Homo-oligomer: A and B are copies of this chain.
């Protein structure tokens, strides 16, 4: 990481206030304090450390559980007084993580923390949640609303989703091997990641969110708030296709997310898009170094499917008449470790 606390040096996530290293370390301290292993009568956890969802087997079923928040995108939503988008994000960030282990969503619970209650805002969040549930065919099973003005400024939107594996097995990336190909599926923009950095950049550069960036059809405020694309339809369409070896939601951590699937191969992203559109504009605005861009944002690809070359025709056929027909080969699996973008001379070791 470059850049000090001020000045015109390149912007990083650490400079924006979020340093991944110490967080990962503290978290591993927490996890090492949790030593208890429940007896089999309480379900059998399936080992998938660092993956997108926790897995547990009860009776004949395997369940997937995942939890995530919309993060500081909510602050942008508040500044624009737009709430539907982040309602959809609340669903999307969770069901996309279920999609990353190949699970079908069953249900979601939401957690709304706020400093005050605003009925109109809540109703719009509800409309956004409804849209997300509809797209992921998921039920709302409950939730928690806490008015905690001493803890939260504005709002925090989080949720937990559970899923299962009807007539299929979890896809965890274990069978990924050199030679596999990476198919990239377009994102709908920033999704719900990197907003701590984006907000600081916009503030530092005095950007007016009511204006458009060059080449954009809508105002920046709206472009930035576009709800996270939901990839459940994609993974449902591919369920059971032989030769699909890995699934990855490109969320916080950017392309590094691929390492969560398998750490002992090399993901060579020779076809990943160059910084363009909104991403290119943000990179220049900072400036933000390419290494930081690709480990913070999805850079245009929100979901990756890893597959054997022999599986590609079947995948193409399955997706032909779906909203996921548009995709591209963005890379391949090699011997080695980590993630590389050879055209940009970028290399990443791990995920955190």
Contacts and interface: CB of A to CB of B under 8 A. Distances in A.
Interface of A: 17-19, 22-23, 25-27, 29-39, 41-43, 45, 53-56, 58-61, 63, 65-69, 71-72, 74-75, 104-107, 109-113, 117-119, 121-127, 129-130, 133-134, 137-156, 158, 160, 162, 164, 166, 196, 199
Given A41-B137, A111-B111, 15 more contacts: A23-B147, A26-B118, A26-B122, A30-B125, A33-B125, A33-B126, A36-B133, A38-B133, A38-B139, A43-B139, A54-B141, A55-B141, A56-B141, A63-B107, A158-B158
Contact of A127 (B33, B53, B109): B33
Given A105-B42, A125-B30, A196-B148, A53 B111 contact: no
Decide if the interface of chain A is mainly helix, strand, loop or mixed.
Answer: mixed
Nearest to A42: B137
B152 A156 contact: yes
Report the 9 A-B pairs with minimum CB-CB distance, sorted nearest first. Answer: A33-B126, A54-B141, A160-B160, A54-B142, A30-B126, A43-B106, A26-B122, A29-B123, A26-B119
Contact of A60 (B59, B66, B104, B158): B59
- This chain's copy number in the assembly: 2
A166 B106 contact: no
A48 to B, nearest CB: 9
Contacts of A36: 130, 133-134, 139-140
Nearest to A153: B151
A137 B69 contact: no
13 contacts: A22-B117, A23-B145, A36-B133, A42-B106, A59-B60, A61-B61, A63-B162, A65-B141, A67-B111, A67-B143, A67-B144, A69-B144, A113-B156
Contacts of A112: 30
Nearest to A126: B33
Nearest to A141: B54
A141 B97 CA distance: 14
A31 B142 contact: no
A137 B53 CA distance: 20
A83 to B, nearest CB: 10
Contacts of A199: 150
A154 B149 CA distance: 12
A126 B29 contact: yes
A33 B124 CA distance: 8
Contacts of A67: 109-111, 142-144, 160
Contacts of A166: 41, 58-59
B109 A139 contact: no
A105 to B, nearest CB: 6
A122 to B, nearest CB: 4
Nearest to A107: B56
A107 B27 contact: no
